[in-house]
């Protein structure tokens, strides 16, 4: 017997042969792109023979760089999500309450991709977290709420959530999180936030980006980009526009400190510095999704330092991982640059802004190598960087020992998606 208040769910024959993805794009944030590509790489573990339909906020740019026949890009721009898809999803939700077929209201490609999906993978890197502002919280709620309205199982793949102390955060989280098929907590901090919140649909799992593969052409392009720098030895620096903005709020000159850090580390290690943008929107101004302007500012401040290489371009996340993996050291403010450092066993030092950095580094016993942005000093970070370089082999071996367990843990999101499909 069907529970009262719900329409009969579509049979598997009526469903598409795809997994729908929210919260990620190939363009802009390469961390989200890394998680998306990891899912594409392992789609057969979730849905054998299936494809991924990514509901992208940058559809035109994503279609230009999409190289996989297992990935389809569907437009899901924020304005259309709010003004078109959300009202139609409400109509679908009301139809379901009266046991009616609501698919007639799926008038957009995005809603059809959702309503026909076997499962929806929410790949937001962090959500429902205090202090990120009401607009971001509303976006988190709307993005994940729409597929729930249309009646599709949703899995929040491995991500940071919490703290959940603010009333607005708790209300929004209470509306969404208990209704999900599973929430995969990326680390102990997130897991504890969710358990204290009273959720029971929670499991732990390492970041899905650990499962992204890097192929020989990606390695070859990384080598070509750096040419003689590879032979001479280098370290990688990944600044963040987000951390820069937070520093400005605290009257900290992030760019000057990063430039000073580059000079100190080059001098004390004898390595060249390679500046990368792990979130990039070419031709656009500064934003949370665009590190190109801040990397240019750091590069300009380093103009007098010999051996600084600035990769001033939008690079595929696989190539970025290959660049990071070829270095002797990584200094990162972007979270998924840090993930690539760990995935390639590269000693990594972090200037971050959230518990999400600490909880991942703690899995490798490297939590002492993260500095909160509010305490950022080039002296302290340079000291950690020189120590990481000096202890390169020991740190790399420590990461290598933990990595197989972490890589297996990153598949927790894939297993949760599979379980949701199986019901």
Considering the domain architecture, whether residues 165 and 266 belong to the same structural domain is answered as no
Compute the CA torsion angle 2, 8, 12, 13 (nearest 10 deg).
Answer: 130
Number of domains in the chain: 2
Report how far residue 260's alpha carbon sits from residue 130's, in angstroms, rounded to the nearest whole number: 32
Tens-digit pLDDT profile for residues 178-213: 999 999 999 888 999 999 999 999 999 999 999 999
Percent of the residues in the chain that have a pLDDT greater than 70, as a whole number:
97
pLDDT of residue 14: 60
Query: pLDDT grade, residue 85 (50/70/90)?
Result: very high
Which residues span the domain enclosing 165? 18-204
**HSE-CB for 262 with a 13 A CA cutoff:** 31
CATH number of the domain that residue 275 is part of: 3.40.50.2000
Considering the domain architecture, whether residues 252 and 182 belong to the same structural domain is answered as no
- pTM (2 d.p.): 0.93
pLDDT of residue 153: 98
In a domain, residue 177? The reply is yes
Report how far residue 35's alpha carbon sits from residue 361's, in angstroms, rounded to the nearest whole number: 18
In a domain, residue 4? The reply is no
Report how far residue 35's alpha carbon sits from residue 46's, in angstroms, rounded to the nearest whole number: 14
Considering the domain architecture, whether residues 240 and 194 belong to the same structural domain is answered as no
Residue reference for tokens 């929004």: 172
pLDDT of residue 230: 73
Considering the domain architecture, whether residues 28 and 101 belong to the same structural domain is answered as yes
Tens-digit pLDDT profile for residues 232-246: 899 999 999 999 999
In a domain, residue 362? The reply is yes
Task: Write the CA distances from 423 to 6, 105, 336, integer angstroms.
Answer: 16, 25, 31
Considering the domain architecture, whether residues 125 and 223 belong to the same structural domain is answered as no
CATH number of the domain that residue 135 is part of: 3.40.50.11930
pLDDT of residue 359: 87
In a domain, residue 356? The reply is yes
Considering the domain architecture, whether residues 38 and 186 belong to the same structural domain is answered as yes
Residue reference for tokens 């976006």: 139
Considering the domain architecture, whether residues 63 and 107 belong to the same structural domain is answered as yes
Considering the domain architecture, whether residues 239 and 160 belong to the same structural domain is answered as no
In a domain, residue 7? The reply is no
pLDDT of residue 4: 37
In a domain, residue 418? The reply is no
Regarding predicted confidence, which is higher, 412 or 11?
412
Question: Mean pLDDT in the chain?
Answer: 94
Tens-digit pLDDT profile for residues 114-124: 999 999 999 99
Tens-digit pLDDT profile for residues 278-299: 999 999 988 999 999 999 999 9
Considering the domain architecture, whether residues 272 and 398 belong to the same structural domain is answered as yes
């Amino acid at each position: 017997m069907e529970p009262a208040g719900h329409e009969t769910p579509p049979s598997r024959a009526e469903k598409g042969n795809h997994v729908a993805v929210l919260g990620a794009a190939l363009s802009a944030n390469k961390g989200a792109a890394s998680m998306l590509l990891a899912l594409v790489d392992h789609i057969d573990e979730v849905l054998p023979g299936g494809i991924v339909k990514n509901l992208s906020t940058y559809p035109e740019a994503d279609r230009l760089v999409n190289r996989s026949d297992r990935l389809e890009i569907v437009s899901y721009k924020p304005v259309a999500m709010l003004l078109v898809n959300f009202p139609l999803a409400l109509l679908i939700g009301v139809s379901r309450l009266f046991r009616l077929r609501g698919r007639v209201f799926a008038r957009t490609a995005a809603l059809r991709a959702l309503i026909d999906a076997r499962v929806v993978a929410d790949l937001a890197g962090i959500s429902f977290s205090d202090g990120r502002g009401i607009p971001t919280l509303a976006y988190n709620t709307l993005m994940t709420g729409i597929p729930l309205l249309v009646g599709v199982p949703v899995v929040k793949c491995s991500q940071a959530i919490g703290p959940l102390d603010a009333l607005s955060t708790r209300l929004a989280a209470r509306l969404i999180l208990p209704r999900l098929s599973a929430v995969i907590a990326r680390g102990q901090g997130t897991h504890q936030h969710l358990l204290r919140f009273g959720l029971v649909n929670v499991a732990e799992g390492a970041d899905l980006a650990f499962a992204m593969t890097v192929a020989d052409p990606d390695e070859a392009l990384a080598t070509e980009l750096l040419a003689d720098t590879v032979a001479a030895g280098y370290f990688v620096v990944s600044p963040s526009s987000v951390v820069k903005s937070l520093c400005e709020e605290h009257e900290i000159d992030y760019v000057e400190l990063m430039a000073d850090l580059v000079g100190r580390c080059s001098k004390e290690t004898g390595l060249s510095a390679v500046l990368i943008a792990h979130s990039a929107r070419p031709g656009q101004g500064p934003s949370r999704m665009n590190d190109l302007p801040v990397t240019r500012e750091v590069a300009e401040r380093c103009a007098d330092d010999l051996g600084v290489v600035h990769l001033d371009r939008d690079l595929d996340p696989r190539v970025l991982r290959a660049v990071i993996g070829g270095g002797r050291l990584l200094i990162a403010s972007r979270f998924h640059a840090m993930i690539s450092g760990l995935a390639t066993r590269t000693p990594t030092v972090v200037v971050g802004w959230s518990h999400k950095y600490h909880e991942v580094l703690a899995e490798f016993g490297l939590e002492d190598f993260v500095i909160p942005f509010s305490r950022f000093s080039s002296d302290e970070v340079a000291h950690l960087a020189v120590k990481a370089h000096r202890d390169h082999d020991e740190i790399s071996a420590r990461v290598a020992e933990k990595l197989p367990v972490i890589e297996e843990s990153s598949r927790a999101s894939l297993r949760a998606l599979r379980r949701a499909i199986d019901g």
